Amino acid sequence: MWDIGHIHRKEYEIDTDRAEPMVVAEAPGRVHYLGEHGEPKAGLFLSSAIDRYIRVAVSPRKDSSLRFYAANLGERKRTTLVNLKYKREDRWANYIKVGIHIFARLGYPVKGLNFTLQGDIPQHIGLASSSAIEVAAAVALRGFFQVPLRDEELLDQLILSDAAFFEEHTNPIDYVIALRARADEFLLVDETTLEVRRIPSSISGYQLLIMDSRVPRMGVQEELQERRQDIKKGLTLLSQKKEGASFRNFVTADLIESMGDLPEEIRRRSMHIIQELRRVYNAEEALTKTDLPALSKIIFHSHESLRDLYEVSCPEIDWLVKRAQEIDGVLCSRMTGQGFGGCTYIIIKEEAIEEYRRRLDDYERIFGFHPVLYAVRLAAGSRLLPA
């Protein structure tokens, strides 16, 4: 397969004998292992980058046009700096525009530019491919303009530009992971401060698999909005008896004491949030101590909570997690992503993978969906590549 530099030069008919500058950057996808269904703007995540990447190449043009080429799709888009705005029909190119918006707003000489996009992050299954495009484009342009912008400053600029460009609040966690991840490390990320604690991986000898259930996901945003409203109501009701700014100020006992005041559905949602916060800290401790049996229990209990308390799972996902739990050599499994379908992850011994694959034949026969399995590894974050 041709590398992105070759594709870029061929697409824009760049003479390889000329010394025209070209910069290439990559940013990884990510997996959330715990915490993603938490209190909005105050979440606590156990996550990692994975070795699936989006790569962006950029070079100058002689005119003022901005050209975009998605090599995997064979699609082309174009605009100008004057018309740099969100357009639904531009789809993937909108995320590159976020990177352009950063440096245009900072006053750098954004004129005519060529962009090529290439990657192997599976899309629309919750692995942060969109955020990876934004980060890769921003890192590439930082290198192109030779801007002395630290990662922390670039993170702030990404948050501001994404919010301005899409006119909505963005979750910065994916940017943090893409910029700060290191190979063979889990990250504990605090959404309130964007601080990161690094946890060396203690799962050597295991393989990380991502399972796309292929379950159609419809009406997900409406359901998730209802969950967020329930969380907000639960926090308000709890704070009437015990003042607190977030769920981190409460423990399970507070919910038991308030059972008469909290509607059952809100109590269940709130219970998940409070217990999941504790699970993230407990998982950090288990990984630090290489206590894999404890980690296994934490992960499986988290899935049960998503199923029974937060109620964002579905029968197909529950079946996949349950079957994984029955196989010798599987450390743990859980849904990941927004829920109501989507993906599970499995941490599994190499010798158990074949047995797991056999179980998937039953899944397809029972549910009628053909699942897709991806083998990934914990990976490093964004970087410039040799052009």
DSSP string covering 198-244: EEE---TTEEEEEEE------SHHHHHHHHHHHHHHHHHHHHHHS--
pLDDT of amino acid 129: 95
58 three-class SS: strand
Looking at 3.30.230.10, 3.30.160.110, 3.90.1150.10, 3.40.50.720, the CATH number of the domain 4-202+380-385 comes to 3.30.230.10
- Residue 16: the pLDDT is 60
Could you give the CA distance from residue 155 to residue 161 in angstroms, rounded to a whole number?
A: 10
* Mean predicted confidence (pLDDT) in 375-387: 94
Both tokens of 58, joined, read: 């950029």
Judged against a pLDDT cut of 70, whether residue 180 lies above it is answered with yes
**Cα–Cα distance, 204 to 59 (Å, whole number):** 40
Is 212 among the catalytic positions?
A: no
Q: What is the pLDDT of residue 255?
A: 76
Query: Percent of the chain having pLDDT more than 70?
Result: 96
pLDDT in tens, 312-326: 999 999 999 999 999
Reported as a pLDDT band with limits 50, 70 and 90, residue 332 is: very high
Amino acid letter, residue 311: E
Average pLDDT of 18-28?
85
Q: Taking a C-beta distance cutoff of 8 angstroms, is the pair 147, 103 a contact?
A: yes
Q: How confident is the model at residue 47 (pLDDT cuts 50, 70, 90)?
A: very high
The tokens 């692995």 sit on which residue?
A: 127
What integer pLDDT is reported at residue 26 of this predicted model?
A: 97
pLDDT digits (tens, 9 = 90+) for 267-295: 999 999 999 999 999 999 999 999 999 99
Residue with tokens 């049996």: 293
Q: Looking at the predicted structure, is the pLDDT value of residue 169 above 70?
A: no
CATH code 3.30.70.890 region(s) in the chain:
206-376
Over the stretch 81-126, which tens digit does the pLDDT of each residue have? 999 999 999 999 999 999 999 999 999 989 899 999 999 999 889 9
Q: 139-153, 235-249, 310-324, 340-354: lowest mean pLDDT where?
A: 235-249
The per-residue pLDDT for range 8-18, each reduced to its tens digit, is: 999 998 866 55
State the pLDDT at residue 1: 43
**First-to-final CA distance of the chain:** 16
Average pLDDT over residues 328-350: 95
Q: Which of 114, 143, 131, 1 is nearest to 54 (CA)?
A: 131
Q: What percent of the chain has pLDDT over 90?
A: 80
CB 352 within 8 A of CB 327: yes
pLDDT given for residue 259 in this prediction: 65
Delimiting residues of CATH 3.30.230.10 domain(s) in the chain: 4-202+380-385
Q: How far apart are the C-alpha atoms of 195 and 256, rounded to whole Å?
A: 31
DSSP 378: B
| CATH class, 206-376 region | alpha beta
Average pLDDT, integer, range 351-379? 95
Beta bridge partners of 78: 67
**Which pLDDT tens digit goes with each residue over 221-231?**
899 999 999 99
Which one of the listed residues 174, 190, 212, 230 is annotated catalytic? 174
What's the rounded Cα separation, in Å, for the pair 8 and 21? 12
What backbone phi and psi angles, to 5 degrees, belong to 52? -120, 130
Residue 19 above 70 pLDDT? no
260 — pLDDT class (breaks 50, 70, 90): low
Per-residue pLDDT for 261 more than 80? no
What is the dihedral sign for C-alpha 123, 135, 35, 223?
Answer: negative
> Distance between CA 168 and CA 256 in Å, rounded?
36
377 has pLDDT over 90: yes
Average pLDDT, rounded, for the chain: 92
